[in-house]
Amino acid sequence: MLKGFRFHTKSCGKSGFSTMSGGRQSFREVAIPVPWGKIAAKEWGDTDGKPWLGIHGWLDNAGSFDLIAKDWPAGHKLVAIDYPGHGFSSHIPSGCSYHYMEGSAYVRRIAEYFGWDKFSLIGHSMGGGISSVYSALYPEQIESLIMIDLIRPVRRHDDEFISKARESIDGALKVEKKLKQTKVYPSYEDAFKRLYEGSLAMNGPDAVTERTARIILERGVRKSDCGEGWVFTRDLRHRNVGLYGLYQQNLQSITENIKCHHLLIKAQDFPHYESDEDVENTINTYRKNPLFQYRLVEGNHHLHLNTPEAVLPVILEFINRANL
């Protein structure tokens, strides 16, 4: 059993869940069936509340929302998923690859499973981008959209079509070979060190704290099949460059078609992924929607996890002002 987990009840199916309390508010563990296995999730709040779907960032998991979800407003519930290939969710079948647009298919499956005709989305980084795409594809379903520290899905430039496609194909074959030899860490602390140091190397010296890294690790590792040591649960195929990119014309269509209440929270201490010109043009397009709000909040890329006290009030104000 993962360090820090204390499971009190356990069952299967839509209404079954495991409840855990480890210094954070109790939640319900959910398993959403899909043809290749399951999409795992954590559910907080009123069971009959207005639904929100939370989608975490690249190589994170549902634990990313722990510190804002515990104070989710009354009358609402938050279902934070482990995006396929992360956390406790199943990996997609062998020989397949992940693609950004598939995220909308996953969201659609989840909405149909729960019977949600109307719901809201909150996403961090990659999850924010996926949430924006779905909001544009199905505007009639989405009441509100909150994006945390991502302006839009990262653009692929026209002149990268050949090079990125080739890089993706070759990379997919290389990853397949790596998957045959899963790296096992002798102890939980060895796995923690790898995750913590990797996060700092990727996102800067203050990317995560030890506390928040341990939150991600709770769903980020499992006991190895042989029972000796720990392995990461994330699918290495997520590290590969996507075969298909989103180009400027695609992204323009997405940003123009978001019609719902829309909050974009940008971390003050973390750079943009794209040029200042692209960022400015995107925000100006969002502003054509009278329901759009932009908030610059002190913190780094994982500000919702590292400094939830700065982020949660902004979210609660947005929900209150929108009369959701």
From the list 89, 125, 131, 135, the catalytic residue is 125
3-state secondary structure (DSSP) of residue 84? coil
Give the closest residue to 56 by CA, choosing from 75, 41, 76. 41
The continuous run of DSSP H or E covering 164 comes out as helix 161-179
- Is residue 289 within 8 Å of 262, Cβ to Cβ? yes
Tokens read off for 57: 């960032």
3-state secondary structure (DSSP) of residue 140? coil
219 Cβ contact partners less than 8 Å away, ≥ 6 residues apart? 2, 40, 61, 62, 63, 82, 86, 87, 88, 233
Give me the helix-helix angle, 210-220 and 188-203, nearest 10°: 120
Q: Is 115 left (phi over 0), alpha (psi -120 to 50) or beta?
A: left
- Is residue 193 within 8 Å of 145, Cβ to Cβ? no
Tell me the C-alpha distance between 246 and 82, whole Å.
23
- Is residue 116 within 8 Å of 297, Cβ to Cβ? no
Q: Tokens 């982020």 map to which residue?
A: 311
> Any catalytic annotation for residue 125?
yes
96 Cβ contact partners less than 8 Å away, ≥ 6 residues apart? none
What residues are annotated to the active site?
125
